[in-house]
Chain A
Amino acid sequence: MKGLFYGVLLQWKMDLRSKTMLIACYLVPLAFFVLMGGIFVSIMPESRQTLTQTMTVFAISMGALIGLPPTLVEFYGSDIRKVYQVSGIPGWVGFVLAMLSAFCHLLLMSVLLFGLSFVCFGGEIPSNLQEYVLALILLLLTSLFMAGVVGLGVKDQAKTSLFSILLFLPSILLSGVFFPAELLSPVLEGVGKCFPAFWGSRLLMGGFHWTDILPLVGLLFLYGGICILLLKKN
């Protein structure tokens, strides 16, 4: 337990040293937030109601899908896993450490966005904070497991970046955060439903409804199950 706790702390520090994680989890979401927040609020003042949620979904999707896979590829696509294994550290530890560290980074970023949205743009605080936090955690975990599938399934850094972007773009564009999903064709709406961002944004914006929770939990188990299978294969 001592080793695991130290491992998470260490992974957290290593993530901050790694430029990919720093850029994907903090710099780009913050820059995007400042830019888009200013534009949204000035042309559509009513967007204040959903500004926090929109930017949070964007930050989580980006941080998870772009930030996490390179860390996993570095671990499982090289001899690092072997070195850990022969030193008595089980192979799944690399995955767990990367996931927990990314979870902490993205949770911190979500809190930052929550506060900045309120302070800088007069963003509205969600009516039910408990439900908001639960939805946030569910979205975070599902997004991270989805990113985990990319990181464990593709063992090449260049290909991983390509897959990450191929998933990140539709995830955001079809999630309904920038325009209503109802405007999309049924096929595109169906594709959008495969991404955690679609259900997560509905939960964060529209309240805690089982019709949105269950599909997200389903995706969590699906992506989590695939990660376990890939870990066993690794």
Chain B
Amino acid sequence: MKAIQVEKLRKSYGAHEVLRGLDLAVEQGEVFALLGVNGAGKTTALECIQGLRSYEKGQVSVNGRMGVQLQSASLPFSIRAMEALSLFARWNGTRAEPGLLETLGIHELGKQLYGKLSPGQKQRLHLALALVGDPDILFLDEPTAGLDVQGRMALRNLLAQLKRQGKTVVLTSHDMGEVENLCDTLAILAKGKVVFAGTPQQLRQQEGRANKVILHTEGETICFSAEDLGRDLLSQLELCRAAGQKVLDIQVERDSLEQCFLRLTKEENR
């Protein structure tokens, strides 16, 4: 059974159709990224899945308890961090795990009022609140926005830990490096539809352009594009050998995930 299955989802705000028959499937236990340029419909899609927004057509099924960290989240200014955690935990009949609080550095925020926390600290608190109900599926909308290096590292460790526990994680992000490091699969949204679904490697294969190869020889630096890396590199090495040039170094530059994403969304948004 899939953790999340979305079929032909349609949602409009007035005359503006934001989701135009969205199809998505997320397997249990995987870390999934929903990507797209601003206004592509990511947050609307997530809010429809989370039950925060109604939709006109389509089907959404979510199999498991959800924990959600919203992109725009807030709490009363006069609540203390630990009080918020206690309230949410009691309401869900659970308790805040000390290990989780330590990983996210919530203990140090304990008695501070929400209104006095920095954006990064608020982000960490909202992440802890999303986890306090021991969810099977965790939604993270731009989880690293506002986090410092330590915070990002803590999040990475936490996601790895959640993955080991078999939890499903759905996240949105504009940081492609992060997506590549964290996610098993991804889907790219453009104009309210999925234009790509698969692994980061599949995206590179589908959208990545020829590899750029730089050969440093004793006499010169040779730079060329390789359609077939193995074949083209071998024939260039043969040429160097025939010319008696000693090869000192070989560099291969591939299209980054970011470049693949840009190319795909640029084409789709035309």
Contact = CB atoms under 8 A, between A and B. Distances in A.
A74 B87 contact: no
B130 A87 contact: yes
- Helix, strand, loop or mixed for chain A's interface? helix
Interface in B83-120: 83, 86-88, 90-93, 113
Interface stretch (A6-14, A35-43, A224-232): A6-14
B91 A7 contact: yes
A87 to B, nearest CB: 5
Interface residues of A, number: 21
Interface in A129-161: none
* Most chain A C-beta atoms within 10 Å of own C-beta, residue among B83, B88, B91, B132: B91
A3 interface: yes
B57 to A, nearest CB: 23
A234 interface: no
A89 B91 contact: yes
Interface in A1-43: 2-3, 6-7, 10, 13-14, 17-18
B68 A87 contact: yes
B42 to A, nearest CB: 16
Contacts of A182: none
B86 to A, nearest CB: 7
Contacts of B22: none
A10 B87 CA distance: 8
B59 interface: no
Nearest to B68: A86
Contacts of B73: 79, 82-83
A74 B91 contact: no
Nearest to A16: B78
A80 B90 contact: no
Interface string B72-85: 11111111000100
Contact of B72 (A74, A75, A79, A87): A79
B214 interface: no
B36 interface: no
B52 A82 contact: yes
B145 to A, nearest CB: 15
B170 to A, nearest CB: 13
A80 B74 CA distance: 5
B78 A86 contact: no
B76 A88 contact: no
B200 interface: no
A17 B70 CA distance: 26
B65 to A, nearest CB: 8
Contacts of B113: 17
B10 interface: no
Given A6-B86, A14-B79, A87 B91 contact: yes
A226 B167 CA distance: 42
Contact of A83 (B66, B70, B77, B90): B70
Contacts of A75: 76
B124 interface: no
Contacts of B192: none
B79 A83 contact: no
B68 A6 contact: no
B11 interface: no
B129 interface: yes
A3 B70 contact: no
Contact of B74 (A14, A78, A88): A78
Given A3-B87, A83-B129, A86-B66, A14 B76 contact: yes
A87 B78 contact: no
A87 B70 contact: no
A229 B237 CA distance: 77
Q: Which 6 A-B pairs have the closest CB atoms?
A: A3-B91, A86-B68, A17-B78, A79-B74, A3-B90, A14-B78
5 contacts: A83-B73, A86-B68, A86-B130, A87-B91, A87-B92
Given A75-B76, A87-B133, 5 more contacts: A6-B87, A14-B76, A14-B78, A17-B78, A78-B74
